[in-house]
Amino acid sequence: MSSTYPFKIAAAKALADTARQFVILADLSELDDYCQVFENHGYGGHGPSWREHIETIIEEFQPDLLDHLEFDEEAGAFLAYADSLDAVRQFMACVLPYFGDLGKLDKYLRQTDPGDFFE
């Protein structure tokens, strides 16, 4: 798999839980520049804000993928669990065009309305 930045992928520790085979993580304490872009557009820039935007993107382009992901609320991180490596690959194919670099994220957030989101 090519670069997944700003996300890190790892095998989940609780392998007995088939819904949590892989973890997708963005440690927001290491991504101040990303958080600043969120804040520039009226969003919190914390984990729940990332989750809301990522879920919206997936729902729009690959809604069936949501059946293979489980999100976890954390203020200082974006955290999702995937039930398979294929789900991780689909997540990256869907989300990285928007989160793959700051310019892409800025362009995406410029096209959104903060009133449509809770975070």
pLDDT, tens digit only, all 119 positions of the chain: 589 999 999 998 766 667 789 999 999 999 999 999 999 999 989 999 999 999 999 999 999 999 999 999 788 999 999 999 999 999 999 999 999 999 999 999 999 988 888 76
Q: Can you give the C-alpha Rg of the chain in angstroms?
A: 14
What are the sequence ranges of the domains in the chain?
8-114
Sequence-distant (≥ 6) Cβ neighbours of residue 40 within 8 angstroms: 106, 109
Q: What is the pTM assigned to this prediction? A: 0.91
* Number of Cα atoms under 13 Å in the Cβ half of residue 23: 14
Predicted pLDDT of residue 18: 73
Query: In terms of residues, how long is the chain?
Result: 119
